[in-house]
Structure 1
Amino acid sequence: MSLESVRTFFAEKAPDIAIIELDTSTATVALAAEAHGVEPGQIAKTLALRAGERNLLIVARGDARIDNKKIKAAFGGKARMLDAETVLTLTSHPVGGVCPFGLATDLPVYCDISLRAYDEVVPAAGDVHSAVRITPQRMAELTGAEWVDVCQEVAVEACS
């Protein structure tokens, strides 16, 4: 169902973007980077969090770590990762395949500025064996994402 909701999303909003399906798992940043032949930072990981009373998604570069102080400043409180069952219910995507496309519920999506270090990123596409190649800007536009700065610095150009 999850991969199908992403297929529907792209068919309606961006038919020029192809979903890449692989036989190997891309459930972790390391596996995805190896499978797609990119550096780990180029994998756009989607984190499902609860901040205060809100559930939300943050998409960040694969090698970035969330900065708790920045999260608190951006969202008004501490954030915690959602459990796998809640993630599946809210997004329709299993952990390892979570992406901001084809969501089961209307969740706010935020793209961390760390993604801007790349011309093209590789987020999952609703399954642990699928992904898309997309510019960070287009991903933000298609998902109605807001840009935020919530990651620790990875490199001088990444989160500054």
Structure 2
Amino acid sequence: MSLTSVRAFFAAKAPDIEVIVTAESSATVPLAAIAHSVDPAQIAKTICVRAGERTVLVVMSGTTRLDNRKFRDVFAAKPRMLAGEEVEALTSHPVGGVCPFGVATDMPIYCDQSLRKFDLVVPAAGAPNAAVRIGTERMAELTGAIWIDIGQPPAEAAAD
């Protein structure tokens, strides 16, 4: 059902974007980077987070971690990751395929600034072996995402 909702999303809003289904899993950032021949940072991972009483989707670079302090500053609440079953119930996407497209529940979508260094990103597409190649700004536009800064750069980037 989830892959179907993502395909329906693109058929309605961006028929030029192809959902890519691979034989191998792309359920983690390293696997997705290998499957789509991109740098792991170019994978646009989507996490479902509870902020107080609100549940939000956050899309960020595959190598960026959620910064709890920045999250609290933006949402005035401590982030709480949801269990896989709850994520799937809210989004219709299984863990490993969570994305901001074809989401079952109306919830706010945010894009972290860590994505802006890429013209093209590769987010999942509703299944652990499905993804799309999409322009970063176009992804934000199609999903109605709001740009925020809640990411923590990878350790090696922070040391530079």
TM-score normalized with structure 1 length: 0.96
| Structure-to-structure mapping, 1:89-128, within 5 angstroms | 89-128=89-128
State the alpha-carbon separation in 2 of the partners of residues 107 and 136 from structure 1. Answer: 20
The aligned counterpart of 1:23 is: 23
Partner deviation per Cα, 1:78-133 (whole Å, 9 max, x = no partner): 01111101100000000000000001010100000000111100000000010000
Aligned partner of 2:61 in structure 1 is 61
| CA distance in 1 between partners of 2:113 and 2:11 (Å) | 27
TM-score by length of 2: 0.96
Mapped partners of 1:153, 1:38: distance in 2 = 18
Gaps of 5+ in 1: none
Residues 130-150 of structure 1: CA distance to partner in whole angstroms, max 9, x if unpaired?
A: 000011100000000000000
Q: CA RMSD in A?
A: 0.8
Report deviation, 1:153.
2.6
Give the letter aligned to residue 148 of structure 1: I
Are 1:135 and 2:143 counterparts? Answer: no
Query: d(CA) in 1 for partners of 2:153 and 2:90?
Result: 29
Q: CA deviation at 1:69?
A: 0.4
Alignment of 1:15-94 (within 5 A): 15-94=15-94
Higher strand content, 1 or 2: 2
Equivalences, count: 156
Identical columns (%): 62
Q: Distance in 2 between matches of 1:40 and 1:59?
A: 14
Provide the C-alpha distance between the structure 2 equivalents of 1:65 and 1:91, rounded to a whole number of angstroms. Answer: 21
SS for the counterpart of 1:121 is strand
Structure 2: distance between partners of 1:147 and 1:21: 28
